[in-house]
């Protein structure tokens, strides 16, 4: 398939929330209590809510920045690309990258809405979370029908409230919810606990995909504080294997046979061996561990129920015969540091060389549209959302680097995990 004929739908992009996001969605009684974006003494921006301060970490929004300015220090809106927080500029950046549609994860509320969950006034926390979801669905996604796949945050502190919110947003056309790949790290029950059953049932009933993004437990895998940051970055995608193991051996896939999960930004190259391993564990140990998958193997259940997502994974594409082609999905990861923007088509095309067109269509858009119940072609003709057609609308988009003197790095010493930790905000 010619690269310009690709239709690209990203199941993992990110947004930086704008300061006016609550204006049209919060009940009047809470209007003065919503999170507010303020400028700190050092000139960086931070969201403040009930005394909590949350900054936007630099690596969350590096699109268009020279690589030697990457880092975890807090930023301000003036230092990041407008497409991170302005929906109109985001669409222009998507056009320049040839991306037809995208699903976006949050920034300052964290992946599971932990920022809102820590509210002392839980009624306020719920009102703010619902307002966030309404802004995301109605404004961020609603501004350009067919271009943004909506996703909701859950009120993670109460499974019944979570179930109600899933049903509420599903009625608005949102069939994706972000959740934690390890809720015990957030001081909640594990994925094996029946505590979450009302939430799982609501997702199952409404055909809502549960997205488990790497880092959604507010933790990262490190070998030591002295390790170079490269170690942490290398392990991040593959570390989701722990969530994969939790999922396959947990009871909810059996209790809720229509429930679907996605391992967001987890990559796919590691999966063939994982499948081999879980089948061997089942054959060797089920007599005493009492696991029972009926007439199926664990690998078959995993491939049927777990959507896999990748950014740049040539080995995974080459071993796709070991996977379920109906559950493979592509990601752009704009505007994060792993993103392939603005050359996503060129990057992906290398791996798709020789892949049959029907398989390409599944991986690049058909699976995503089906899984997230998103009717892109009901809003936009296919001929208007190919890579070539979109880029033709974006010839005036400036794709050059935008440098910031404040963010320029000096020195040549290896950056360690401890160096990174010193730059991260302690309150979030």
Following CA atoms 216, 199, 248, 362 in sequence, which dihedral angle do they give, to the nearest 10 degrees? -80
DSSP string, 187-206: TS--TTSGGGHHHHHHHHHT
- Taking residues 116-124, report their average pLDDT: 96
DSSP string, 99-129: EEEEEEE-STT-TT-HHHHT-SSHHHHHHHH
Residue-wise pLDDT for 36-81, tens only, equals 999 999 888 999 999 889 887 656 778 888 887 777 667 888 889 9
Element (H, E) at 243: helix 241-249
Q: Which residue has the higher pLDDT, 421 or 281?
A: 281
Report the pLDDT value the prediction gives residue 58, as an integer from 0 to 100: 56
Average pLDDT, the chain: 92
Report the pLDDT value the prediction gives residue 403, as an integer from 0 to 100: 76
Residue-wise pLDDT for 315-337, tens only, equals 999 999 999 999 999 999 999 98
The closest of 418, 348, 376, 346 to 145, measured between CA atoms, is 376
For 300, list phi and psi in degrees, rounded to 5: -70, -40
Sequence ranges of the domains in the chain: 3-33+82-394
Residue 284 burial by Cβ neighbours in a 10 Å radius (0-12, 13-18, 19+): exposed
The angle formed by the CA atoms of residues 335, 341 and 346, to the nearest 5 degrees, is 160
Question: Is residue 125 predicted with pLDDT exceeding 50?
Answer: yes
Q: Put the strands of the sheet holding 52-55 in their side by side order.
A: 36-39, 45-49, 52-55
Token pair of 186, please?
A: 């957030």
CB atoms within 10 A of CB 322: 15
Rounded distance, CA 87 to CA 13, Å? Answer: 13
Report the pLDDT value the prediction gives residue 419, as an integer from 0 to 100: 65
CATH number assigned to the domain with residue range 3-33+82-394, chosen from the 4 options 3.40.80.10, 3.20.20.140, 3.30.360.10, 3.40.50.150? 3.20.20.140
Q: Quick one: DSSP state of residue 57? A: B
Question: Is residue 426 predicted with pLDDT exceeding 60?
Answer: no
Token pair of 361, please?
A: 């269509």
- Taking residues 138-167, report their average pLDDT: 98
- Taking residues 105-120, report their average pLDDT: 94
- Please, are residues 213 and 177 in contact by the beta-carbon 8 Å criterion? no
pLDDT band at 119 (very low <50, low <70, confident <90, very high): very high
Rounded distance, CA 300 to CA 206, Å? Answer: 24
For 329, list phi and psi in degrees, rounded to 5: -140, 145
Report the pLDDT value the prediction gives residue 428, as an integer from 0 to 100: 36
Q: Quick one: DSSP state of residue 33? A: T
3-state secondary structure of 355: coil
The closest of 214, 220, 292, 225 to 253, measured between CA atoms, is 292
- Taking residues 125-146, report their average pLDDT: 98
Question: Is residue 247 predicted with pLDDT exceeding 50?
Answer: yes
pLDDT band at 15 (very low <50, low <70, confident <90, very high): very high
Token pair of 284, please?
A: 């060797």
Comparing 147-151, 157-161, 206-210, 398-402, the range with the smallest average pLDDT is: 398-402
Q: Which residue bears the tokens 């437990």?
A: 217
- Taking residues 13-18, report their average pLDDT: 96
Buried b (16+ CB within 10 A) or exposed e, 132-156: bbbbbbebbbbebebbbbbbbbbbb
Comparing 150-154, 162-166, 334-338, 414-418, the range with the smallest average pLDDT is: 414-418
Report the pLDDT value the prediction gives residue 377, as an integer from 0 to 100: 98
For 8, list phi and psi in degrees, rounded to 5: -105, 125
Residue 125 burial by Cβ neighbours in a 10 Å radius (0-12, 13-18, 19+): buried
Rounded distance, CA 25 to CA 394, Å? Answer: 32
Q: Which residue has the higher pLDDT, 65 or 113?
A: 113
DSSP string, 308-353: EEESS-HHHHHTGGGS-GGGEEE---TTSTT--TT-HHHHHHHHHT
Q: Which residue has the higher pLDDT, 320 or 215?
A: 320
Residue-wise pLDDT for 185-204, tens only, equals 999 999 999 999 999 999 99
The closest of 389, 387, 383 to 3, measured between CA atoms, is 387
Token pair of 129, please?
A: 């979370």
Give how far Cα 188 sits from Cα of 54, 111, 117, 136, 409, Å.
21, 15, 11, 26, 39
Q: What is the CA radius of gyration of the chain?
A: 21
The closest of 45, 31, 33 to 75, measured between CA atoms, is 45
pLDDT band at 418 (very low <50, low <70, confident <90, very high): low
Question: Strands, E, within 140-298: which ranges?
Answer: 148-149, 176-179, 209-213, 261-264
Token pair of 254, please?
A: 């059996």
pLDDT band at 88 (very low <50, low <70, confident <90, very high): very high
Read off the pTM: 0.94
């Amino acid at each position: 398939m010619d690269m310009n004929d690709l239709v690209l739908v990203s199941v993992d992009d990110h947004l930086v929330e704008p300061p006016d996001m609550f204006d049209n969605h919060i009940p009047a009684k809470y209007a003065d209590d919503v999170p507010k974006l303020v400028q700190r003494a050092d000139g960086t921006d931070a969201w403040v809510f009930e005394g909590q301060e949350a900054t936007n970490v630099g690596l969350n929004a590096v699109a268009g920045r020279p690589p030697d300015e990457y880092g975890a220090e807090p930023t301000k809106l003036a230092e990041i690309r407008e497409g991170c927080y302005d929906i109109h500029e985001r669409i222009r950046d998507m056009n320049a990258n040839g991306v037809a549609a995208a699903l976006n994860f949050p920034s300052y509320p964290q992946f599971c809405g932990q920022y809102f969950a820590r509210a002392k006034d839980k009624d306020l926390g719920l009102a703010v979370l619902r307002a966030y979801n309404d802004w995301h669905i109605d404004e961020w996604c609603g501004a350009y029908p067919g271009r943004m796949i909506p996703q909701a945050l859950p009120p993670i502190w109460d499974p019944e409230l979570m179930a109600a919110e899933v049903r509420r947003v599903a009625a608005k056309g949102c069939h994706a919810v972000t959740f934690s790949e390890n809720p015990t790290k957030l001081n909640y029950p594990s994925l094996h606990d029946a505590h979450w059953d009302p939430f799982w049932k609501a997702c199952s009933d409404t055909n809502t995909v549960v997205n488990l993004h790497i880092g959604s437990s507010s933790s990262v895998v490190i070998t030591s504080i002295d390790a170079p940051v490269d170690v942490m970055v290398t392990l991040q995608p593959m570390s989701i294997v722990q969530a994969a193991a939790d999922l396959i051996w947990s009871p909810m896939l059996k209790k809720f046979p229509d429930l679907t999960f996605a391992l967001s930004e987890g990559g796919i190259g590691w999966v063939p061996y994982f499948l081999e391993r879980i089948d061997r564990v089942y054959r060797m140990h089920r007599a005493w561990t009492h696991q029972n998958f009926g007439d199926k193997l664990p690998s078959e259940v995993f491939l049927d129920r777990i959507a896999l997502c990748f950014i740049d994974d040539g080995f995974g594409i080459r071993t796709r015969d070991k996977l379920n082609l109906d559950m493979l999905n592509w990601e752009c990861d704009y505007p994060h540091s792993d993103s392939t923007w603005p050359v996503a088509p060129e990057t992906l095309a290398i791996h798709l060389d020789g892949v049959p067109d029907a398989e390409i269509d599944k991986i690049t858009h058909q699976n995503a549209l089906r899984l997230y119940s998103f009717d892109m072609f009901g809003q936009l003709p296919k001929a208007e959302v190919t890579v070539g057609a979109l880029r033709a609308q974006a010839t005036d988009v400036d794709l050059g680097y935008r440098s910031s003197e404040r963010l320029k790095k000096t020195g040549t010493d290896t950056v360690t995990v401890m160096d990174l930790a010193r730059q991260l905000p302690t309150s979030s």
